[in-house]
């Protein structure tokens, strides 16, 4: 399967501003790209220089400094995908904490949006009776999906896992933060993931946006779970992973940046008429 990926974002900058973007396809998927995947920066004041680096979680970051004025960020590429749903391994086992790799341990700890210490007793009460492994993680996803209502208008940048547990409403990142925290409370390493997830072979939901899910470490590898959709999906394309959303923001601005508009596409390539963000005004 071929999937067209891309975005087109517009901003107004009242003053010069430094940025870090995480908008590139993750290095783990780079070999499947059939076209280049650069971040294009267009600015009303002229060219903007940028450079890339790899952060501590293995994500590609683009750093740049833009003057005041109108700014457009866009990209368009094609990636090859298996066309298969997310893998399911019901017999995948939890790894005892003492046997976990050193680099995985940070995904058991508190982070900005995941208060492990405050939810540990609740997690044990709700899920302590489940057999360790895949089914316990799935039980967490089932519970979060059943108890939390999706609503675009009912989230905020400061909303944490405890807030989601208390308020029972939010967007995809809120679902994942709560599930990540409940997993960590049970000593299951869990990390937040961001990327593309188009409505491929499922009912169409508009508008398209970047998506969030989470990954857990079972049987010495990372597996994708999704507490919001809670079903294996086709065409999940990773961009970045981290402890929570603070580590994988698609764009971080160090000052005031006024968002104007955004268009995102992640669609199966069936004909030449698949939308290309580069052509969208």
pLDDT, tens only, 166-196: 999 999 999 999 999 999 999 999 999 999 9
Q: Which residue has the tokens 């675009």?
A: 152
**% of the chain surpassing 70 pLDDT:** 96
Identify the three-state secondary structure at position 117.
helix
**CA 2 from centroid of its chain's CA atoms:** 21
Q: Tell me, what's the pLDDT at 269?
A: 94
Q: Tell me, what's the pLDDT at 206?
A: 72
Q: Band of the pLDDT at 208, cuts 50, 70, 90?
A: confident
At residue 277, does pLDDT exceed 90? Answer: no
Residues whose CB falls within 8 Å of the CB of residue 87, separated by 6 or more in sequence, listed in order: 223, 224, 232
Q: Tell me, what's the pLDDT at 154?
A: 85
Identify the three-state secondary structure at position 221.
strand
Q: Tell me, what's the pLDDT at 281?
A: 43
CB atoms within 10 A of CB 64: 19
For the record, the structure tokens of 197 come out as: 């997830």
Asked if 180 and 191 touch (Cβ cutoff 8 Å), the reply is yes
The CATH number assigned to the domain with range 97-238 reads 3.10.620.30
Q: Tell me, what's the pLDDT at 234?
A: 97
At residue 280, does pLDDT exceed 70? Answer: no
Please write the tens of the pLDDT for every residue from 61-98: 999 999 999 999 999 999 999 999 999 999 999 999 99
Q: Band of the pLDDT at 226, cuts 50, 70, 90?
A: very high
Q: Any idea where the domains of the chain sit in the sequence?
A: 2-82+249-269, 97-238
Residues whose CB falls within 8 Å of the CB of residue 260, separated by 6 or more in sequence, listed in order: 10, 11, 12
Among 14-28, 80-94, 198-212, 227-241, the range scoring the smallest mean pLDDT is 198-212
Q: Tell me, what's the pLDDT at 162?
A: 98
Q: What is the mean pLDDT of residues 218-240?
A: 97
At residue 199, does pLDDT exceed 90? Answer: yes
Could you give the CA distance from residue 8 to residue 3 in angstroms, rounded to a whole number?
A: 17
At residue 279, does pLDDT exceed 60? Answer: no
Fold of 2-82+249-269: Immunoglobulin-like (2.60.40)
């Amino acid at each position: 399967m071929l999937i067209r990926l891309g975005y087109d974002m517009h901003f107004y900058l009242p003053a010069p501003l430094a940025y870090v973007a995480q908008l590139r396809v993750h290095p783990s998927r780079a070999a499947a790209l059939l076209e280049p995947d650069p971040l294009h920066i267009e600015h009303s004041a002229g060219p903007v220089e940028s450079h890339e680096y790899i952060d501590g979680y293995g994500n590609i970051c683009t750093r740049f400094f833009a003057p005041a004025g109108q700014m457009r960020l866009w990209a368009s590429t094609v990636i090859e995908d298996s066309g298969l749903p997310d893998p399911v391994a019901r017999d995948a086992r939890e790894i005892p904490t003492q046997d976990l790799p050193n680099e995985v341990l940070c995904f058991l700890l508190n982070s900005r949006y995941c208060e492990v210490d405050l939810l540990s007793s609740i997690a044990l009460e709700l899920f302590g009776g489940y057999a360790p492994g895949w089914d316990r993680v799935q039980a967490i996803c089932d519970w979060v999906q059943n108890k939390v209502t999706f609503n675009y208008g009912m989230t905020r940048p400061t909303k944490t896992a405890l807030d989601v547990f208390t308020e029972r409403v939010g967007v995809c990142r809120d679902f994942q933060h709560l599930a990540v925290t409940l997993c960590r409370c049970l000593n299951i390493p869990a990390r937040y993931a961001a990327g593309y997830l188009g409505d491929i072979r499922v009912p169409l939901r508009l508008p398209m946006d970047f998506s969030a899910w989470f990954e857990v470490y079972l049987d010495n590898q990372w597996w994708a779970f999704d507490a919001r959709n809670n079903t294996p999906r086709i065409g999940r394309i990773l961009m970045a992973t981290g402890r929570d959303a603070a580590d994988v923001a698609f764009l971080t601005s160090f000052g005031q940046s006024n968002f104007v508009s955004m268009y995102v596409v992640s669609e199966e390539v069936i004909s030449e008429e698949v939308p290309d963000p580069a052509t969208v005004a």
